[in-house]
Structure 1
Amino acid sequence: MSTSSAPLPPEETAAAIGPWATASDAYELLTVDVPAEHWIEALTACRDGLGLAYLDWLSAVDELAEGFSVCAHLVHAGAGPTRRLLLRTRVPRDAATLPTAVPVYAGAAWHERETYEMFGVGFEGHPHLVPLLLPDGFEGHPLRKEFVLAARVAKAWPGAKEPGESDHAPAEGARRRMLPPGVPDPNEWGPLKGTLPPAPE
């Protein structure tokens, strides 16, 4: 396969990666979807056949019931115009695992650690799949859509306060603010659990 700097049309790009690949061009980014069982084969074809020797980033998207989309942004940055490709696959929520891309792109090591930490997607064969960003003992995967948005419960919003409010627990009988969408009721979760009146409907 030629590694020319000239970009290929989506259909030819998909064919160069494998018969199971499909490609589309949107927002000036060529995106190729491959089955999870061909993930490493597709990455290798992108590197060796298409000349996309640089892995820019790898991450995931939580698609809820459909599982997780794992995406790798690959780049050819040699002579001629820069070419980019987004390689994407899908893993089920109850078996969110892929083989590691490290043997193909050594730079995937940290990206896979972050994806494992933030989304809970595992990478079989990774040489050191340990936490990268979160503190020791952190529970859960904060970029999963079911993860509780607890920032306002753990620490009150530092902005303007309503009259009579302070940094302490509200006085007996004080009116409680409505909670924005996605923020848990601090009376049901967090350090003030069980100490506050019910939130208004």
Structure 2
Amino acid sequence: MTPEELRARVVARFGPVAAEISHGQLTVDVDRDTWIAALTFARDTLLCGYFDWLSAVDELDGEPPGIRVVSHVYSLQRRHHLLLRTLVPGDDPRLPTATTVYKGANWHERETCEMFGVEFADHPNLIPLLLPDGFAGTPLRKSFVLASRVAKQWPGEVDPGQSVGDLKPKRRRNLPPGVPNPDEWGPAATRAAEP
């Protein structure tokens, strides 16, 4: 099926949903209430029986803000792709599990839960996958503080061959995204606060 034919079938089934064709692939945005219905439709009607991957993107500073969960499925018979996306609120990141439709979603949902904090309701085994026991936080969210970058020099801060001591005092210190000012957070702030 061509991407245009896929879009026509998706719109006929779900009504006026955002369905965009880019680089020969259809991307469909659905509400989180129709997430499972869209995945089931992709598997059963569009013959996308191959589950490729599922992940998320932190769009908490976007409009509207939230965590966008993205899944890619493929039809081995018809050789077409489909990206399904849904937006969950950052303060309520819950979504029904896709493992009821695609068994291969198990590992991907565990990783997405661990890294972005999205809870997948009725997941059969939503336990940590990558991070050490007792790790607190969701490291792929933009709000997660990159503590190692406060304690260790950021490689992009100086030019090749320079050191931090070579920087002129007037030069503003560059910080990568997600890193707080070391004078306000971390070892330097602790030392400054000590009497």
Report 1:49-68 matches (<5 A). Answer: 49-64=45-60, 66-68=65-67
Match of 2:136 in 1: 139
- What is the distance in 2 between the residues matched to 1:70 and 1:125? 17
- What is the distance in 1 between the residues matched to 2:65 and 2:154? 34
Match of 2:111 in 1: 114
Q: Decide whether aligned partners of structure 1 residues 137 and 189 sit closer, same or farther in structure 2, where only a CA change above 3 A counts.
A: farther
Residue type matched to 2:30 in 1? V
- Partner of 1:74, secondary structure, is strand
Query: In structure 2, which of residues 117, 120, 144 is the aligned counterpart of residue 123 of structure 1?
Result: 120
- Preserved CA contact (<8 Å) 1:17 1:46: no
Residue type matched to 2:96 in 1? P
Q: 1:143 offset after TM fit, Å? A: 1.1
- What is the distance in 1 between the residues matched to 2:189 and 2:105? 41
- Preserved CA contact (<8 Å) 2:27 2:85: yes
Task: Choose 182-191 or 31-40, whichever is displaced more.
Answer: 182-191
The structure having more radius of gyration, on CA atoms, is: 1
Q: Decide whether aligned partners of structure 1 residues 104 and 37 sit closer, same or farther in structure 2, where only a CA change above 3 A counts.
A: same
Match of 1:91 in 2: 88
- Structure whose residues are more often helix by fraction: 2
Q: 1:35 offset after TM fit, Å? A: 1.1
Q: 1:41 offset after TM fit, Å? A: 0.8
- Partner of 1:152, secondary structure, is helix
- What is the distance in 1 between the residues matched to 2:98 and 2:144? 27
Q: 1:54 offset after TM fit, Å? A: 1.0
Match of 2:75 in 1: 76
Q: 1:142 offset after TM fit, Å? A: 1.1
Q: 1:14 offset after TM fit, Å? A: 1.5
Task: Report whether the alignment pairs 1:39 with 2:41.
Answer: no
Task: Choose 150-159 or 182-191, whichever is displaced more.
Answer: 150-159
- Partner of 2:149, secondary structure, is helix
Task: Choose 96-105 or 154-163, whichever is displaced more.
Answer: 154-163
Q: 1:7 offset after TM fit, Å? A: 2.7
- Partner of 1:195, secondary structure, is helix
- Preserved CA contact (<8 Å) 1:30 1:86: yes
Q: Decide whether aligned partners of structure 1 residues 177 and 127 sit closer, same or farther in structure 2, where only a CA change above 3 A counts.
A: same
> Across the two proteins, how many residue pairs are aligned to each other?
181
Q: Any unmatched runs of 5+ in structure 2?
A: none
Aligned structure 1 segments of 4 or more residues deviating by more than 6 angstroms? none
Q: Percent identity?
A: 51
Q: 1:178 offset after TM fit, Å? A: 1.8
Residue type matched to 2:52 in 1? D
- Partner of 2:100, secondary structure, is coil
- What is the distance in 1 between the residues matched to 2:31 and 2:173? 44
Task: Report whether the alignment pairs 1:30 with 2:29.
Answer: no
Per-residue displacement from partner, 1:43-96 (whole Å, max 9, x unpaired)? 001000001011111011111152111111011123x5x211101111111111
Report 1:148-163 matches (<5 A). Answer: 148-157=145-154, 161-163=163-165
- Partner of 2:191, secondary structure, is coil
Residue type matched to 1:120 in 2? G
